[in-house]
Amino acid sequence: MAGTDKNMPVKGFRSAELGWPELHRIPRPPYRVPLVGDALGTNLRTPLQDSLAVGRRLGPIFRRKGFGKEIVFVWGSELAGELADESRFAKHVGLGVANLRPVAGDGLFTAYNHEPNWQLAHDVLAPGFSREAMEGYHAMMLAVAARLTDRWDGEQAAGRAVDVPGDMTKLTLETIARTGFGHDFDSFERTRPHPFVTAMVGALLYAQRLNVVPVPLAPVLMRAATRRNAADVALLNRTVDAVVEARLGGPAGEGDLLDRMLETAHPETGERLTPENVRRQVITFLIAGHETTSGALSFALHYLARHPEIAARARAEVDRVWGDTPEPAYDQVARLRYVRRVLDESLRLWPTAPAFAREAREDTVLGGVHPMRPGAWALVLIPLLHRDPEAWGPDAERFDPDRFEPGAIRARPAHTFKPFGTGARACIGRQFALHEATLVLGLLLRRYELRPDPAYRLRVAERLTLMPEGLTLRLDRRSPAAPAKPQAPGARPARDVPQGARASGCPVTGADE
What residue type is assigned to position 242 of the chain? A
Crossing angle, helix 131-157 and helix 430-447, to 10 degrees?
30
Q: Is 394 helix (H, G, I), strand (E, B) or coil?
A: coil
| Residues taking part in catalysis | 292, 420, 427
Q: Where are the alpha helices (DSSP H) in 256-324?
A: 257-263, 275-306, 308-322
Identity at 379, one-letter amino acid code: L
Task: Tell me the one-letter amino acid at 424.
Answer: A
> Could you tell me which of 211, 221, 219, 215 has the C-alpha nearest to residue 71?
211
> Is the four-CA dihedral 133, 134, 136, 137 of positive or negative sign?
positive
What contacts 24+ positions apart, CB below 8 Å, involve 177-180? 177/243, 177/286, 178/140, 178/143, 178/144, 179/137, 179/140, 179/141, 179/256, 179/257, 179/432, 180/128, 180/256, 180/257, 180/258, 180/285, 180/286, 180/289
Number of H helices, E strands in the chain: 19, 12
**How far does the chain reach from its first CA to its final CA, in angstroms?**
17
Burial of residue 168 (number of CB atoms within 10 Å: 0-12, 13-18, 19+)? buried
Spatial distance between the Cα atoms of 358 and 513, rounded to a whole number of angstroms: 11
Helix (H, G, I), strand (E, B) or coil at 187: helix
d(CA 499, CA 504): 13
